Chains A and B, each alone.
Chain A
Amino acid sequence: MADVDNAAREGAVSRPPAGETLIALGVLALSAVAFWQTLVIPVSPLYARVGPTVIPMIAASGLGLCGLALLALALRGGWQDEEEKATPPDLRALLLLGSGLLANLLLIGPLGFTVASMILFALTARAFGSRNLLRDAGGGFVLAIVAYLGFARALGINIGAGPVERLIERLISLVI
């Protein structure tokens, strides 16, 4: 409850912070989606009293109440830590990291685990300030292929084979 007091004190001087207001609205939106999804659950009259919607209803309402409380806090000045608020997020790093994740998601099917991981690895390292793209890509490739072969050979689990994995498997079977 300390943040209520803080918010009350700060609220008089500053206007509501955009970040916290958006977060509160996001929580309210989530709660609305939860209500909507709860209402589309068909309920057989057989289970009407302890049916599949009781707990979802409670959780959605709880989330809604929390969203309202958060909105109230946001309008009174927000709750975010001063130090955190003073640190603007490094958008370039987030963008690099986000594109790495997206590339992984899109490429892992067609190109296989190793290639997708290599790209993810290199872009992540770049997001954290590494300058040597080639070395990172190489490191990522080695890590991924070792992990792939480890899972495939030792545990018999295929963690996502693509052209590269099939080629390497064929090379290995030629040598052995």
Chain B
Amino acid sequence: MDALSQLAAGFAVALTPINLMWCLVGVTLGTGIGVLPGLGPALTIALLLPITFKVEPASAFILFAGIYYGAMYGGSTTSILLNTPGESATIVTALEGNKMARNGRAGAALATSAIGSFVAGTIGTLGIAFLAPVVVDWALRFGPADYFALMVLAFVTVSAVLGSSAIRGLTSLFIGILIGLVGVDLQTGQARFTFGVQELTDKIDVIIVAVGLFAVGETLYMAARRRTGKDEIIPLRGSLMMTKEEWSRSWKPWLRGTAIGFPIGAMPAGGAEVPTFLSYYTEKKLSPKPEEFGHGAIEGVAGPEAANNASAAGVLVPMLTLGLPTSATAAIMLSAFQSYGINPGPMLLQSQPQLVWGLIASLFIGNVLLLALNLPMIRIWVKMLEVPAPMLYAGILVFATIGTYGISQSPVDLALLYMIGAMGFLMRRYDFPTAPVIIGVILGPLAEQNFRQAMTISAGDWTVFFTRPLAGSILAIAAIIVLAPAIYSAVQKRRAAA
């Protein structure tokens, strides 16, 4: 049991007072930003990226992972009490959770989602500990062509499958890839897409893209539609304890949600929306009281919340073992690795065992802390929902300035931030997903690097991507994923016409 001894060493790293402190700061901050509407883990970690210049890698990643997990816990509170899901993965929680809150069972809904998150997070983290070494063994055999194919698969699933429209997802992805290409090409020294602007030769920092889309774009979007609809916070009444019946209706959905969420998250395709919806429909099918669905069924909170957290844990597997981020937050974390000069990938577990296992151990600790933070102290977090929107968004914009201009002192950065913010506003308004942009910015240059290496090895022979069995089959899967819905609907149409 190599993983167990490694994990023990990881706990030795995570349990040092300083790292425990970082973990506590992370989960607290994560819960807070999860509760606050308009803030998410990707934005928060992007704003905190500059600490990578000052803080040791292990501590920084313990902080980031705490934020990542914490935001999942906090997000469910907002979905349940406010019915405004902070991110797409918690839409399903809002469906039943908000109805439960309206029926006076807000306490039970919060409890089942917190405990479910704990169960799923713990099992999911165990999953990382045991799955990561296996994936690494396998990934050591990958060549550049195979990596390129994997990245194409990730691109395709993240943009074409997970959103509401393949075309809009791919548009976002290509914009992201083009932003990622701005700057001097490291291999040939040629400036690309710089329009003669000196500052752009240094590449566009992913911080600017993330803060522009998630802070400035989101603020513009919320300001533009402020007048419509008023959010109503449902007061937290009654007991936080779940009844015996609620316990017995919750534990199976927790486990099923975990079983659905982790494998899907761990696939190089990622995404938390698919597992939460799958879990919801599974629970609806299996529930002894399906008639309660739509009116506040506890299974509909317990299952999807567990699926959400398990898939969040799963996403860390391709990120750590293949260097393949499949969510916006994972992409930002990858850029944190890059700023330390560390390349996530199959060698990471060997070259930085302290970092990886310390991180995994701190996820276990973080889950325990989160359960403690979220159950007894829930009333304090609920207070945060009362922060008035004008103050919240004004503060977000000030911090967006600090995170970009404050660090670089470059007016070009600030102008870029606002241009990307304006783009983010249009994207929100016209229903373009934003995560593919971030993934394109981070993964695009890596994909290009692998593409060129593969082409150099094959002496310029394009067929290398199809003749290598692994690369060929991965690309075939990617092609099927893109084309299958179109073919399916064409067939359906023909059948309907006949």
Interface residues in chain A, defined as those with a beta carbon under 8 Å from any beta carbon in chain B:
1, 3-5, 19-20, 23, 26-27, 30, 34, 37-38, 41-44, 47, 49-52, 54-56, 59-60, 62-63, 66-67, 69-70, 73, 79-81, 84, 87, 89-90, 93-94, 96-97, 100-101, 104-105, 108-109, 113, 116-117, 120-122, 124-130, 136, 139-140, 143-144, 147, 151, 155, 157-160
Report yes or no: B409 in contact with A160, Cβ–Cβ below 8 A: yes
Instruction: Indicate if the CB atoms of A89 and B429 lie closer than 8 Å.
Output: yes
B372 within 8 A of A: no
Q: Which of A30, A81, A87, A117 contacts B431 (CB 8 A)?
A: A81
Nearest A residue (CB) for B177:
A59
Q: A63-B175, A90-B225, A140-B394 are known contacts. Are A108 and B192 too (CB-CB below 8 A)?
A: no
B220 lies within 8 A of A97 (CB): yes
Whether B223 lies near A94 (C-beta < 8 A) is yes
Contact of B223 among A51, A81, A127 (CB under 8 A): A127
Query: Contacts A120-B394, A139-B391: A108 and B228 contacting too (C-beta < 8 A)?
Result: no
Partner of B489, one of A1, A49, A108: A1
Question: Would B418 and A101 count as touching, CB distance under 8 A?
Answer: yes
Q: Shortest Cβ distance from A130 into chain B, in angstroms? A: 4
Asked if residues A79 and B460 are in contact (CB atoms below 8 Å), the reply is no
Is the pair B389, A128 in contact by a Cβ cutoff of 8 Å?
A: yes
Complexed CA–CA distance, A158 and B444 (Å): 32
Q: Are B431 and A37 in contact (CB under 8 A)?
A: no
| In the complex, B411 has a CB within 8 A of chain A | yes
Q: Is the CB of B398 within 8 A of A27?
A: no
How many cross-chain pairs have Cβ atoms below 8 Å apart between A and B? 199
Q: In the complex, A42 Cα to B150 Cα: how many Å?
A: 30
Assess the A63–B174 pair: CB atoms within 8 A: yes
Neighbouring A residues of B225 by C-beta, 8 Å: 87, 89-90
Known: A41-B190, A59-B178. A129 touches B226 (CB 8 A): yes
Q: What residues of B have a CB within 8 angstroms of the CB of A70 in the complex?
A: 167-168, 171
Decide: B406 and A79 in contact? CB cutoff 8 A: no
What 1/0 mask marks residues of chain B from 415 to 443 whose CB sits below 8 Å from any chain A CB?
Answer: 10010010000100111000000000000
Interface residues of B (CB under 8 A from A): 50, 54, 164-168, 170-171, 173-175, 177-178, 181, 185, 187-188, 190-193, 195, 216, 219-220, 222-228, 388-391, 393-395, 397-399, 401-402, 405-407, 409, 411, 414-415, 418, 421, 426, 429-431, 444, 447-448, 451-452, 455-456, 460, 485-486, 488-489
A3, B402: Cβ atoms under 8 Å? no
Instruction: Chain B residues near A100: list those with CB within 8 A.
Output: 397
Whether A144 contacts B398 by the Cβ 8 Å rule is yes
Q: Nearest 9 pairs between A and B by C-beta? A: A159-B406, A125-B390, A130-B390, A128-B390, A124-B394, A89-B224, A63-B174, A50-B455, A49-B460
Of the candidates A19, A66, A130, the one whose C-beta lies within 8 Å of that of B174 is A66
Instruction: Choose from A52, A62, A66, A122 the contact partner of B187 (Cβ within 8 Å).
Output: A52
Question: Known contacts A52-B188, A120-B397: does B390 contact A129 (CB below 8 Å)?
Answer: yes
Closest chain A CB from B436 CB (angstroms):
11
* Distance A122 CA – B228 CA, assembled complex (angstroms): 22
Contact (Cβ within 8 A) B415 A105: yes
The CB with the most chain B CB atoms within 10 A, among A125, A147, A155, is that of A125
Given A79-B168, A93-B223, A129-B226: A109 and B411 within 8 A (CB)? yes
The docked-state distance in angstroms from the alpha carbon of A59 to that of B443 is: 13
Check if A136 sits within 8 Å of B451, measured CB to CB.
no
Complex: chain A residue closest to B486, CB-CB: A1
Using known A-B contacts A20-B430, A37-B195, A66-B174, determine if residue A128 contacts B415 with beta carbons closer than 8 Å.
no
A155 to B452, CA, bound (A): 40
A-B contact pairs, 29 of them (CB 8 A): A1-B485, A1-B486, A50-B452, A56-B181, A60-B178, A62-B173, A79-B168, A81-B431, A89-B224, A90-B224, A93-B224, A94-B220, A94-B223, A94-B224, A97-B220, A104-B414, A108-B414, A113-B406, A121-B395, A121-B397, A125-B394, A130-B391, A139-B391, A140-B398, A143-B395, A147-B398, A157-B407, A160-B406, A160-B409
